[in-house]
């Protein structure tokens, strides 16, 4: 979950909503890919963080009972391993391109994780490395093309996170997004409230709208994840729209 403080309590954005926003950005991105590669890649972008019902997971509450932001470590990597195994099962059941992009994303996230402290996670990551070699061979992709395609995935993911985490700076201050598939470092800033621009402009259209959904949870702490899930399930989602203009 993406959790930010709000004057009414907590603002909760699911990873799935963030993934959908990333796919909206990817759909508009100016990149030359055939349909049989573009569509599986869009799905990988949208679903790369799926695999678990977030409001039902005990790890998503802190010891004090507050909703846990995904960047706050709960100290229990083993509970995460099941999620990543589920993510890979979902991706693999769709296509080899989905599996390759999702596996590369997990490798990117945990690039510094193989350290011998968590043997199960280390084994999972090493298995993914072997899996990617097989996928590259089966797809007839070379490493350069796979990296090009994954930078597309990572760029859209990074931009979506900046938006969902309210990280874009106010007053027109520029900040970096990530390295684009062509090696360009794009910067993003607000032109006015909820109107965003990117330089250099990487999109097909000069103006388009994207959104993500979130929930405002007024209760500050919870006695159980079941209570948290119940309140989240009955809270009406809100929609945050942004216009991107050249």
- Measured on CA atoms in the order 67, 14, 91, 98, is the torsion positive or negative? negative
Any idea of the CA torsion for 59, 62, 67, 73, to the nearest 10 degrees?
Answer: -60
Any idea of the CA torsion for 213, 217, 221, 225, to the nearest 10 degrees?
Answer: -50
Number of domains comprising the chain: 1
* φ, ψ of residue 7 in degrees (nearest 5): -70, -10
How far is 71 from 79, CA to CA, in rounded Å? Answer: 15
How far is 243 from 64, CA to CA, in rounded Å? Answer: 38
* Domain, as residue range, for 224: 2-245
Element (H, E) at 182: none
pLDDT along the chain (246 residues), means of 10: 93 95 98 96 89 80 92 63 86 95 90 68 90 97 96 97 93 92 94 94 98 96 94 96 97
Look at residue 97 in the predicted model and tell me its pLDDT: 97
> What are the respective helix, strand and coil percentages of the chain, to the nearest 5?
50, 20, 30
* φ, ψ of residue 137 in degrees (nearest 5): -65, -45
Look at residue 81 in the predicted model and tell me its pLDDT: 81
Look at residue 83 in the predicted model and tell me its pLDDT: 80
Angle between helices 143-164 and 96-109 (to 10 degrees): 60
- Candidates 125, 146, 158; CA nearest to 19 is 158
Other beta carbons less than 10 A from residue 82's beta carbon: 12
How far is 101 from 160, CA to CA, in rounded Å? Answer: 17
How far is 83 from 89, CA to CA, in rounded Å? Answer: 10
Look at residue 191 in the predicted model and tell me its pLDDT: 93
Tokens of 25: 């950005």
Let me know: does 211 contact 6? Beta carbons within 8 Å: no
Look at residue 110 in the predicted model and tell me its pLDDT: 81
Tokens of 223: 């006695």
Let me know: does 37 contact 97? Beta carbons within 8 Å: yes
């Amino acid at each position: 979950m993406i959790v930010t403080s709000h004057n009414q309590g907590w603002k909760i954005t699911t990873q799935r909503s963030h993934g959908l926003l990333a796919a909206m950005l990817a759909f508009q991105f100016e990149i030359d890919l055939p349909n049989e590669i573009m569509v599986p890649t869009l799905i990988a972008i949208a679903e790369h963080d799926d695999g678990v019902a977030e409001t039902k997971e005990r790890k998503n509450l802190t010891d004090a009972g507050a909703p846990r932001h995904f960047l706050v470590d709960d100290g229990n990597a083993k509970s995460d391993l099941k999620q990543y195994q589920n993510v890979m099962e979902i991706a693999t059941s769709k296509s080899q391109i989905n599996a390759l992009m999702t596996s590369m994303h997990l490798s990117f996230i945990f690039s510094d994780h193989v350290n011998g402290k968590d043997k199960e996670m280390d084994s999972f990551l090493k298995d993914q490395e072997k899996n990617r070699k097989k996928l590259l061979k089966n797809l007839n992709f070379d490493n350069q093309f796979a990296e090009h395609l994954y930078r597309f995935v990572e760029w859209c993911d990074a931009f979506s996170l900046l938006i969902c985490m309210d990280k874009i700076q106010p007053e027109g201050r520029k900040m970096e997004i990530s390295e684009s598939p062509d090696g360009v470092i794009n910067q993003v800033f607000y032109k006015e409230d909820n109107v965003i621009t990117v330089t250099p402009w990487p999109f097909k259209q000069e103006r388009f709208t994207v959104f993500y959904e979130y929930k405002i949870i007024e209760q500050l702490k919870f006695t159980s994840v079941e209570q948290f899930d119940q309140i989240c399930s009955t809270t009406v989602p809100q929609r945050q729209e942004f216009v991107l203009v050249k």
